[in-house]
Structure 1
Amino acid sequence: MKRYWKIISVCIVTVMVIGTFYIQSSLATKGNVNVEFEKLSGNEDEVKNVIFYGDYTVGNLFRALQITNKETTNLNNQSLFQQLKRNYTVPVLKTLIEQHRTFMRGKELTPNYFYENGNLVVYANIKAKNFDIEILNKKSEETNSIQLAVPKKGIYSWIEVLDVQVIEGNLKVITRGFRSEGGNDLNGYTINLDEQKLVKDEMIHTAPAVENGWSDIILVNDLNSIGSEKYLLFKTENYEDKQVPTEGEMILDGAPKLVVNEVMVYDIEKNQLKKLVVPDEIRETLGDLSAIFHSTIFIPSQTADHLEVNQYDIEKGKWGKKLSFNLPYNQEDEGAPYIKVMSGKIYIIHSTKNDHTISIRDLKTGVSLYEGKLKVNNTREGQKDIRFHINEIEPVQ
C-alpha cells in the first residue's frame, strides 16, 4: 500500500480541487453581480473602449469579474479549463489565442516573445540557445518558421528574450544573456525576414560581474505590450556584499550595498543608447508603474494623499513639469488605489467601504478626462462583508 501513497495523494487533491471549483461555481450563479458606471464629469467615451478586471468577495464567496460599461461577466461561470487558462494568460495574449488558435498552439505564453501589427504576428523565443521564430501573415494565414543559431551562445549560461520588434522588414530580437562567469548583457539581434538570416549582432549594454556581489539589468517597459515600441527603458544595478572575517572565515555584514544605479533609454530603430541624469528621489520611484508614451517617460510616485507624476522628454532631453493629483482619503482598512498608466492616460481607481471612485486623466497636461463611480449591485441584500477591487485594465482589442 505504501508504494501507492503518492498516487492516492494526488488523486485526493485533484478531487478536492475539482469539487471546490464546482461548489464555488454553483454558489456563484446564485448571486448576480453587476457593476455600473456613474459619470460625475467628463466624457463617457473614456470608459467605452476599456475592459476592467476585478475581484468581488462576499464572506468566503469569491467572484472574478470582467467589466465593461455595457455588461459585467462573472468569469467563475466558465469551465475549469477556461478558468485555469485565464489565470495564467495575460489579457493581451487571450485575444491572439482567440483569433489565431492554430498559430498560438504550443507556444510559451509570455508577452515578451510576441509582436503584432496590422499584417503580422511574430513569435521569437530561444530554445537550446537557438532562435525559434515563427511569423504569421494575417491575410494569407500562412506561417513561416526560422531557425538560427544565437551568436556567442557559449559565453552565456542562460539567455532570455526581452522584446521583439519588426522595423522595415527586419525582425529585431532584444535579449538578456547571463554570462557564465557573472554579469549580464543586453544584446540586439537583427534578422532579415525575406532572406531569413542574421544581419546584425549588437551589444546594447553590459552589466559587469561584481566581486562579492551581483549586477542586474531591469527592463522598465510594459512587459505586457506586444505592439510597436520605439524605446526601451531599463535600469542597471550593481550590489556588493560587505564581508567581515570571523574565526577564520568571511561572513556577510548587513544588507548588500548598492554601488551602481543607472537609468538608460535605448532607441530601438536608431540603435542608440542614452544614460539619463535622474534625481535620486525620482530614480527610487522608477518601477512597475512607469511607462513610455510616444517620446515621453512617465514616472508616478504615490504618497499618503496624492499622486505625483514626473515626466522626461527623450527627444528634448529634459524633465518637464511634475503633475500632482489628489487621492481620496484612505482609511486603514481600505486598500491602496489601483493605478495604471496606459495610452497616454493615467487611471486611478480607489475602493472604499461606501463607493469606488474612478479618475482618468491626461498624462501630458493632468487635465481630467473622466470622473465617476463604480457601483456594485448584488441581488443579495443586507450583505455587509463585501469587498470589491480592480486588479487590471486593458484596452478593447
Structure 2
Amino acid sequence: MKKYWQTILISLIVVVTIGTYYFQQAAMAPKNDVSFKIEAISGNKEEVENLILQTNFQSGDIHRWLYITKDSSTNRMNRSFFAGLNASNEDEIFGEFIQKYRKFMRGKDLYQNKFFEDEAHLIYTTFKDNGQKEGRGDFLTLQIDTLDKNTNDSSSFKINTPAQASYDWINVRGVYVGEGKIRILATIYLINGGEELHIFTVDENKMELEDDSVLAKLASEERGMEGIRIFNEYNIKKENHFLYMVRKYNNYKGEGAEPEIISSQTYIYNNTTNEVEEWIIPDKLNPYSKWMVLYESYIYIPVHSANGLELNRYNIEKKQWEEPLNIKYSSKVSDEDIPFLKITDGKVYLVNRVSDGHLLFIGDLRTGESLYEGKIILENRENINADYTLNIEDLYNIN
C-alpha cells in the first residue's frame, strides 16, 4: 500500500507542476504578448513570401526572442513544458535537411559552418570532443561524413593527427570542397590563452590529412576583444576565399579601459590555390572595416549615413575596386544603432531603425535597385511601452 501511495503522490506533484506552468503561461500571455508583422510599402511582395527575421525584443521587463514573417511573429522560446525539457539548438534553416535526410542528420551539431553543400553532396565535418587536448602530440580526431543526395547513401571516415599545442577548444569556421580537397578553416583556442587560425586540408579520395597549416596566431597577451576575426558569412555553399583580420593588442588591463590596438592586418586565403595574400584596406574605409562582408568573389565595406548606404566593393579575382552602390533610405544612424545588413542570394537586405519603428529594404546587389520596401509593424502597441528595442540577429529565406 505504501508503494501505491508513493506513486500517487509523485503523480499528483507532476500534475500540479504542469498545471501551474500552463496557468502561469496563460495568465501572462494577454499582458506580455508581443506581435509583429511586415507591412509592404512598395516593390514585389514575393520577396518576403518566405522571409524570416530572427530577432530579440525588449520593453521594460518583457524580453522575447521572436521569428518575424510577413504575416506574424512566433516566440522562439514558446515550447510546451515537456518540449522545453528536451529543447535543442536546432536552427530553423536545417529543417529541410532534417526532413529529407533524417538518418544522416541524426546526432550532428546544427551549425552552418560545419557543413558544405553542392548539387550532389552534403558534407559534415567535426572534431571529436571539440579538439580538447591536454598536450602537444596528443591525437586530434577529425570526422568527415558525406551524403550522396541522389542515392541517399552516406559514408564516414576519421583522421587522427597530432595536436601542435595544448588545445582548449576547436571551432570549425568554414568548409570548402573542390578539386578533390576538403579544406576546413578552424579557430583553435589554446590552454595557455593563445589563439590560432588553421587550415586543415584533406585528400577526399585518399581520406588522408594532407596538411595542417597555421594561418595566424596570437599569444595570450596579444589577444583583445576580437583577436582573429573572420568575415565570411556562415554559409554551407562553396566559398572560394576566406577573409580574416589579425589584430594585436597591448597588455593593458586597466579598469573599464579597452585594450589598445598595436597592429592590424587583413588577409585573403584562396581555397583553390592554397595561397594567402595580405589585403590593404584604403585609409578612408578602414574605420568601417569591422562591418565588411565577403560574398562570392567580392569584399563589401558598408558606410552608413543619415541619407542611406554606400556599399564599397572590391573584386578579389580582378584585384580592383569597382564603383560603389549607393542605396538611399531614411535612417536613424548612430554608433550604437547601425542598421542590420546581410548580403545573400544576390541581394542586399537592410533593416534600419526610424522614428516610429523599423524599415526593411531589399535591393539588387548588382545595381542597388530597390526590389522591396516594407515596415516591421508592432501590432499590439497598446500592450507595450512606447520605448522598446528590436534587434535583428539574422535573416534568411525558407523555400
Please give the range of the TM-score, normalised by the shorter of the 2 chains.
0.7 to 0.9
Structure 2: stretches of 5+ with no match in the other structure: 1-15, 132-139
- Counterpart of 1:166? 177
In structure 2, the residue corresponding to 1:103 is in which secondary structure?
Answer: helix
Name 1:396's counterpart in structure 2: 398
CA distance in 1, matches of 2:154, 2:289: 39
2:372 aligned partner: 370
Shift of the alpha carbon at 1:301? 3.4
- Are residues 1:310 and 2:316 paired? no
Calculate the TM-score normalised by the size of structure 2: 0.75
Question: Are 2:248 and 1:238 equivalent residues in the alignment?
Answer: yes
Cα 1:39–1:186 shift into 2, 3 Å: same
How much does 1:278 deviate?
A: 0.6
Q: Answer whether contact 1:308 1:325 (CA < 8 A) is retained.
A: yes
Output one character per residue of 1:112-143: Cα deviation in whole Å (capped at 9) or x when no partner.
22222333222211125211222223333333
**Alignment check: 8 A CA contact 2:56 2:64 kept:** yes
Between the aligned partners of 2:115 and 2:82, the Cα distance in structure 1 is: 23
Q: Could you give the per-residue CA deviations for residues 155-190 of structure 1, whole angstroms, max 9, x where no partner exists? A: 353443221122144322223345678865433333
Which range is displaced more, 115-124 or 297-306? Answer: 297-306
CA shift, 1:59, in A, is: 6.7
Aligned to 1:125: 126
**Contact kept? 2:308, 2:331, Cα under 8 Å:** no
Higher mean Cα deviation, 107-116 or 334-343?
A: 334-343
Identity %: 26
Deviation at residue 281 of structure 1 after TM alignment: 4.2
Which structure 1 segments of 5+ residues have no match? 1-14, 244-250
For the structure 1 residues 130 and 311, does the alpha-carbon distance in structure 2 shift closer, same or farther, using more than 3 Å as the test? same
2:135 paired residue number = none
Is 2:395 aligned against 1:385? no
Q: Which amino acid aligns with 1:286?
A: S
Residue in 1 that maps onto 2:217:
207
Cα pair 2:232 2:295 within 8 Å, conserved: no
For 2:171 and 2:58, locate their aligned partners in 1 and report how far apart those are by CA, in whole Å: 38
Residue type of the alignment partner of 1:144: S
Aligned partner (choices 216, 221, 226) of residue 232 of structure 2:
221
Compared CA separation, residues 190 and 22, structure 1 to 2 (3 A) = farther
- In the aligned structure 1, how far is the partner of 2:258 from the partner of 2:352? 35
Aligned pair in 2 of structure 1 residues 160, 73: CA closer, same or farther (>3 Å)? closer
Render the CA deviation track for 1:345-396: whole Å, top value 9, x for unaligned. Answer: 2222234463432211233332222222233434xx8445264736231122
Would you say the 8 A contact 1:33–1:74 is kept in 2?
no
Aligned ranges 1:1-397 → 2 under 5 Å: 23-24=24-25, 27-28=28-29, 33=35, 35-40=37-42, 42-55=43-56, 64-69=65-70, 72-75=73-76, 77-80=78-81, 88-127=89-128, 128=131, 129-150=140-161, 152-158=162-168, 159-178=170-189, 184-198=195-209, 200-201=210-211, 203=213, 205-207=215-217, 209=219, 213-214=222-223, 216-222=227-233, 224-241=234-251, 256-287=259-290, 289-303=291-305, 306-330=308-332, 337-352=339-354, 354-378=356-380, 382-383=382-383, 385=385, 387=388, 389=390, 391=392, 392-397=394-399
Indicate if the aligned counterparts of 2:18 and 2:81 stay in contact, CA closer than 8 A. no
Amino acid at match of 1:118: E
- CA displacement at 1:218 relative to structure 2: 1.7
8 Å Cα contact 1:156-1:177 kept in structure 2: no
On the 8 A contact 1:291/1:297 being kept in 2, the answer is: yes
Q: Is the 8 A contact 1:267 1:273 kept in 2?
A: yes
| Residue identity in the other structure for 2:177 | V
Q: Are the aligned partners of 1:349 and 1:390 in contact in 2 as well (CA < 8 Å)?
A: no
Cα displacement string for residues 244-302 of structure 1 (whole angstroms, at most 9, x for unaligned residues): xxxxxxx99x7644232111111112212121111234233223x43222211112233
The offset of 1:58, in angstroms, is: 7.2
Range 87-96 or range 127-136, more displaced: 87-96
CA RMSD of aligned residues (A): 4.0
Q: Residues of 1 paired with 2:20 and 2:347: CA distance?
A: 43
In 2, Cα distance between the equivalents of 1:357 and 1:241?
42
Instruction: Measure, in 1, the Cα distance between the counterparts of 2:124 and 2:40.
Output: 41
Q: SS where residue 285 of structure 1 aligns?
A: helix
